[in-house]
Structure 1
Amino acid sequence: MKTLFELKQNMATIGQQLQKVENDLAQKAVDPQATMEDIQALQQSKKDLQMRFDVIKEQHDQMEAEQQAKFAAQAQANSLGINNENDPQQKVVKAKAELYRATLRKQSVAQEVFQALGDDVSTGGSKFLPKTVSSEIITEPTVKNPLREISMITQIPNLEIPKISFTLDDDNFIADKATAKELEASGDSVAFGRHKFKVKAGVSETVLNGTHTALVSHVDKALESGVAAKEKKVSFATTPKAGEEHMSFYSTQNAIKALEGENLYKAIKNAIADLHEDYRENAKIVMRYQDYSDIIETLANGNATLYSAQPEQILGKPVVFSDSAIYPIIGDFSYSHFNYDLDTLYDRDKDVNTGVEQFVITAWFDHQIKLKSAFRIAKVKAGTPTV
Structure 2
Amino acid sequence: MKTIFELKQDMATLGKQIQKTNNDITQKATDPTVTAENLRQMQQSKEDLQQRFDIIKTQHDQMELEQKNSLAKGSFSNATDPTQKVIDAKAELIRKTMAKEAVSAEIYQALGDNDASGGSKFLPKNVSTDIIVEPVAKNPLRNLSTVTSITNLEIPKIAFTIDDDDFIDDEDTAKEIKAKGDTVTFGRHKFKVFTDISETILMGTNTNLVSTVEANLQSGVATKEKRVAFATAPKKGEEHMSFYDDTVVGIKEVAGKTMYDGIINALGDLADEYAENASVTMKRSEYLKMIKELANGGESLFGKKPEEVLGYPVEFCDLAVTPVVGQFDFSHFNYDLNALYETDKNIKTGMNSFVVTAWFDHQIKLASAFRRVKITP
Q: What TM-score, normalized by structure 2, do the two folds share?
A: 0.75
Secondary structure class of the residue paired with 1:344 = strand
Q: 222, 233, 236: which one pairs with 1:242? A: 236
The reply to whether residue 200 of structure 1 matches residue 194 of structure 2 is yes
| 1:187 partner amino acid | G
Secondary structure class of the residue paired with 2:337 = coil
Q: Is the 8 A contact 2:229 2:241 kept in 1?
A: yes
Q: 99, 102, 119: which one pairs with 1:130? A: 119
The reply to whether residue 118 of structure 1 matches residue 112 of structure 2 is yes
Match of 1:220 in 2: 214
Task: Map Cα deviations across residues 311-344 of structure 1 (whole Å, 9 max, x no partner).
Answer: 1121121111111111000101111111111111
Where do residues 32-71 of structure 1 align in structure 2 (5 Å cutoff)? none
CA shift in 2, pair 1:136/1:214, >3 Å: farther
Separation in structure 2 between the aligned mates of residue 348 and residue 196 of structure 1, nearest angstrom: 17
Q: Is the 8 A contact 1:81 1:211 kept in 2?
A: no
The reply to whether residue 360 of structure 1 matches residue 355 of structure 2 is yes
Match of 1:48 in 2: none
| 1:331 partner amino acid | G
1:354 positional shift: 2.2
Separation in structure 2 between the aligned mates of residue 265 and residue 136 of structure 1, nearest angstrom: 34
1:181 positional shift: 0.6
Separation in structure 2 between the aligned mates of residue 252 and residue 336 of structure 1, nearest angstrom: 16
1:276 positional shift: 1.2
Calculate percent identity across the aligned residue pairs.
Answer: 52
Match of 1:61 in 2: none
RMSD: 2.2
Match of 1:334 in 2: 329
Q: Is the 8 A contact 2:345 2:352 kept in 1?
A: yes
Match of 1:89 in 2: 83
1:133 positional shift: 2.0
1:154 positional shift: 0.8
1:102 positional shift: 1.5
CA shift in 2, pair 1:82/1:186, >3 Å: closer
Q: Tell me, which stretches of 5 or more residues in structure 1 are unaligned?
A: 1-78
Q: Is the 8 A contact 2:77 2:85 kept in 1?
A: no
| 1:105 partner amino acid | A
Q: 247, 265, 280: which one pairs with 2:260? A: 265
Size of the aligned set, in residue pairs, is 300
Q: What TM-score, normalized by structure 1, do the two folds share?
A: 0.73
Q: 146, 153, 165: which one pairs with 2:147? A: 153
CA shift in 2, pair 1:375/1:340, >3 Å: same
| 1:190 partner amino acid | V
1:81 positional shift: 8.8
Match of 2:346 in 1: 351
Match of 1:230 in 2: 224
CA shift in 2, pair 1:199/1:138, >3 Å: farther
Where do residues 233-312 of structure 1 align in structure 2 (5 Å cutoff)? 233-253=227-247, 254-312=249-307
CA shift in 2, pair 1:298/1:83, >3 Å: farther
The reply to whether residue 318 of structure 1 matches residue 309 of structure 2 is no
Separation in structure 1 between the aligned mates of residue 370 and residue 265 of structure 2, nearest angstrom: 12
CA shift in 2, pair 1:286/1:367, >3 Å: same
Separation in structure 2 between the aligned mates of residue 111 and residue 81 of structure 1, nearest angstrom: 15
Q: Is the 8 A contact 1:81 1:90 kept in 2?
A: no
Q: Tell me, which stretches of 5 or more residues in structure 2 are unaligned?
A: 1-72
Q: Is the 8 A contact 2:167 2:174 kept in 1?
A: no
| 2:142 partner amino acid | R
1:84 positional shift: 6.2
Separation in structure 1 between the aligned mates of residue 336 and residue 188 of structure 2, nearest angstrom: 7
Q: Is the 8 A contact 2:125 2:147 kept in 1?
A: no
Separation in structure 2 between the aligned mates of residue 101 and residue 83 of structure 1, nearest angstrom: 15
Separation in structure 2 between the aligned mates of residue 114 and residue 309 of structure 1, nearest angstrom: 48
Match of 1:184 in 2: 178
Separation in structure 1 between the aligned mates of residue 300 and residue 337 of structure 2, nearest angstrom: 50
Separation in structure 2 between the aligned mates of residue 91 and residue 133 of structure 1, nearest angstrom: 14
